[in-house]
Amino acid sequence: MPILSYPNFLQAAERKLSDSGNTCGNHAVLTINLGRLAELDGILGYAAVDQIIQTIATQLADALNPEDLTGITGRHQVSCLLVNLLAHAHAVLAAHKITRILNSPFPLGRQNILLNPCIGVAYGCDKNSTIDLMMRNASLAMQQALQEKELIKLFVENPEDAYLTQLHLWSDLNEAIETSALHLQFQPQFSVASGKIESTEALLRWTHPHHGPIRPDKLIQVAEGSILMPKLTQWVLHTALRECSTYRKAGIDAGVSINFSADDLREPDIIDLTAQALNIWNIPSDRITVEVTETAVMDTNRNILDTLNHLKDMGLKLSMDDFGTGYSSMSRMLELPLDEVKIDMIFVRQMTTHPKHERIVDSIINLAHQLNLTVVAEGVEDIDTFRRLTELGCDVIQGYLIGKPMPLTDFIKTVSQQSFEFLQPALSEAGDSDQSIPGIMNSR
């Protein structure tokens, strides 16, 4: 069966679906993304990559039934129409067969390349299913597979499709940035040594007028990889420093931690944007911490390491967020100019009831201290966890026990009135029971 171009694939598929034997709805479209080949466009040229895609499409056609269709339907994209299926589940079986083929290294001269495919699957639900509709649904499923890093994604009929919703959110987020409809909340970070709030984490919040509160990870997912990400980062950076300046003027001598994404670290202008914000809001650079995820800093992109070093040279502190949940290597960690690691709450919240979790927390604290890093524990919600963390030598505590994330005015009011006397017994037990911790009665 020849490999069809996009227009020819659509025409041939339409004829297939109009045949009387195929009107029962037992058909499906599989759309396969081969985005890894984009890296080769600039190395081998479009003509060579086109030939690779042609070879891959031929392999897929040979693996399917003779009456099925295979076509190249986009740059780095192949689609298959499966007809006369005995059951819809056979389309997913075919998708798994295709992933086994494409996950094998593809020979290219003396080298092998990994294609990292993902597949969107859409069924023909009834005899009225058109090829246009099925292609659209398969493409939507494929986009979801890319976003969620899954090999195969089945399109599920939903009146408010997730991908279309994301397109709407993108436009609405742009407007929210322009009109400052976003806001920050600040969660206090308690220093065990001083007995005071010495910093906060600035947390981004967005309440959509129709969808309600949008999860921060969803918000970042909408912005990442687009022109919105630099705009969003600039808004967060300036707002966090402005509001930090406000609570410092109100008598709260605390710094602020700001989250940067992997996209931010790759942004060529991020150093200049940060320097401008520092000059405008006049916050001492050593009171500002940039938090980056473990996954972001494990990226081997040289520009990311250069950016981290520039930020460090400007006097900012660098923190690795969600430590213990990613893919750190010791050799990579030794390269990074870190000041701090944050233990993910998944370990902290259960450390008093699950010995393995406590051992992980203990190991992280010891490792970090061996590397002269400060340790922050997130998700501390009860006094027993607080007590055990202080016994293990944790430096900074963050969580609902200390304070929930709060808007600026609530944060100033709460922290100004809080003495943290309720922590004194736990701190005394962790240290010398005859001595109080400096600052515990003077945190206001």
Distance separating the N- and C-terminal Cα atoms of the chain: 78
For 235-256, b/e burial (b = at least 16 CB within 10 A) is bbbebbbebbeebbeeebebbb
pLDDT of residue 425: 79
Residue 30 corresponds to which tokens in the numbers above? 């599989």
CATH code of the domain occupying 4-157 = 3.30.70.270
Q: What is the pLDDT of residues 375-384, one digit of tens each?
A: 999 999 999 9
Q: What is the dihedral of CA 234, 237, 239, 241, to 10 degrees?
A: -150
pTM, rounded to two decimals:
0.67
Return the domain boundaries, the chain: 4-157, 167-430
Alpha-carbon distances, residue 205 vs 210, 342, 409 (angstroms): 15, 21, 15
pLDDT digits (tens, 9 = 90+) for 338-361: 999 999 898 999 999 999 999 999
Q: What is the pLDDT of residues 392-420, one digit of tens each?
A: 999 999 999 999 999 999 999 999 888 78
Query: 342 and 320 in contact (C-beta within 8 Å)?
Result: yes
Distance from C-alpha of 382 to C-alpha of 397, rounded to nearest angstrom: 11
- Burial of residue 377 (CB within 10 Å: 0-12, 13-18, 19+) is buried
CATH 3.30.565.10 holds for 167-430: no
Query: Residues of the chain whose pLDDT is less than 50?
Result: 20, 23-24, 159-160, 433-444
DSSP character at residue 104:
S
Residue carrying structure tokens 């058909």: 27
Question: 228-249 vs 408-417: helix axis angle to the nearest 10?
Answer: 30
Range list of β-strands (E), 226-343: 256-260, 288-293, 317-323, 340-343
